[in-house]
Structure 1
Amino acid sequence: MTVTHEENYLDWVRDAHAMEKQAESMLEKMADRLEHYPDLKARIEQHIEETRQQQAMVQSVIDRYDTSRSVFKDTMGKLTAMGQGMAGMMAEDEVVKGAISGYVFENIEIASYTSLIAAAGVVGDTEGARIFTEIRDQEIAMAQWCLEHLPEVTEQFMSRSATEGVEAKK
């Protein structure tokens, strides 16, 4: 059975929607737990709003093709994010590991949207290409922020963890 370009494209668009759902869940869990890292928390909360907008934008591409999003993938993404959030709560250095994981996840999103832009070009979806470029630019900005602030988060954690009676974990 041959899969058409459009079928591949729409499958990847649905994957992107599930990915954004997973991102929202992971970011919300991280933001909810952060107490002692206000800059990180503020940037994550900003990106949660961007992520919600991104979900709607990706959904608009799905809707134009009159196809349903992958409920299974959305559900699995939420379960995966919940598991990752719960695993992070156990780590003493969860803020550092979370910051590293956030940077990695942003780069996965950048790669996914870069591929979607190319696929949109192949199927002639100029509106999809525009949407995915806008989203990718937001993901690039978030990844850059994560990379630039990772040393600061790490240093804050190390300073807090070396101080008696001060919680560093979150």
Structure 2
Amino acid sequence: MVEDRRSLFVTGLKNAHAMENQAVSIIKPQLKRIENYPQVARRLEQHLQETENQMKRIEDILGSLDEDHSAMKDWMLSAGGSMAAIGHSMADDEILKNSIANFAFENYEIAAYNSLLIMAEMGGFQSAMAALRENLSEEENMARWLSENLREVTAEFVTRREAGESAKV
């Protein structure tokens, strides 16, 4: 039974690494396109750094278990994230689509880290819990920021649109 729990935990960690890789592939194209929403760009830059650190923490946990991340999972989710970013870039309300999708994705990550923490606890992987909690905290902070700033971003989008200015990004 212990081996089953270890296997489940390792699979969850590999999935989390791929999920964070996907987050990078979502954030980077947004950063390249944002011009009119500097507060969003600043927070995305910060979260990109957090995400890269989260991937490193997961790699460290995997390494402590003599495991490695899954290049195939990383590639697959990264491709999916890139496609989503491309799809949003064609929308007139790109900044809103990105803001809403980012909020949803952050909540997905929160759920994934909560699940990983339960698996770590059940499997006796206490040494992994601090890093997972740190990742969870960063995701919760980002989700909170996105939620709190959705009103400002939406209002700015509408105001720019009414004034005939570029409202996309």
TM-score by length of 1: 0.96
Q: Which amino acid aligns with 2:109?
A: E
Q: What residue ranges of structure 1 are gaps of 5+ in the alignment?
A: none
TM superposition outliers: structure 1 runs of 4+ over 2 Å: none
How far is the alpha carbon of 1:38 from its aligned partner? 0.3
In the alignment, is residue 29 of structure 1 matched against residue 26 of structure 2? no
In structure 2, the residue matched to 1:54 is 54
Q: Which amino acid aligns with 1:130?
A: A
In structure 2, the residue matched to 1:167 is 166
Whole-Å separation in 1 of the counterparts to 2:87 and 2:28: 15
In structure 2, the residue matched to 1:39 is 39
- Deviation by residue 1:119-168 (Cα, 9 ceiling, x = unmatched): 0011111121111111101100000000000010000000111112x100
Deviates more, 1:123-132 or 1:148-157: 123-132
Q: What residue ranges of structure 2 are gaps of 5+ in the alignment?
A: none
In structure 2, the residue matched to 1:136 is 136
Whole-Å separation in 2 of the counterparts to 1:57 and 1:75: 19
TM-score by length of 2: 0.97
Q: Which amino acid aligns with 2:87?
A: A
Q: Which amino acid aligns with 2:42?
A: A
How far is the alpha carbon of 1:45 from its aligned partner? 0.4
Whole-Å separation in 2 of the counterparts to 1:47 and 1:144: 12
Whole-Å separation in 1 of the counterparts to 2:44 and 2:68: 29
Q: Percent identity over the alignment?
A: 33
User: For the aligned residues, what is the CA RMSD?
Assistant: 0.9
Secondary structure of 1:52 counterpart: helix
Whole-Å separation in 1 of the counterparts to 2:67 and 2:58: 12
In the alignment, is residue 90 of structure 1 matched against residue 90 of structure 2? yes
- Deviation by residue 1:44-67 (Cα, 9 ceiling, x = unmatched): 000000000000000001111111
Aligned residues: 167
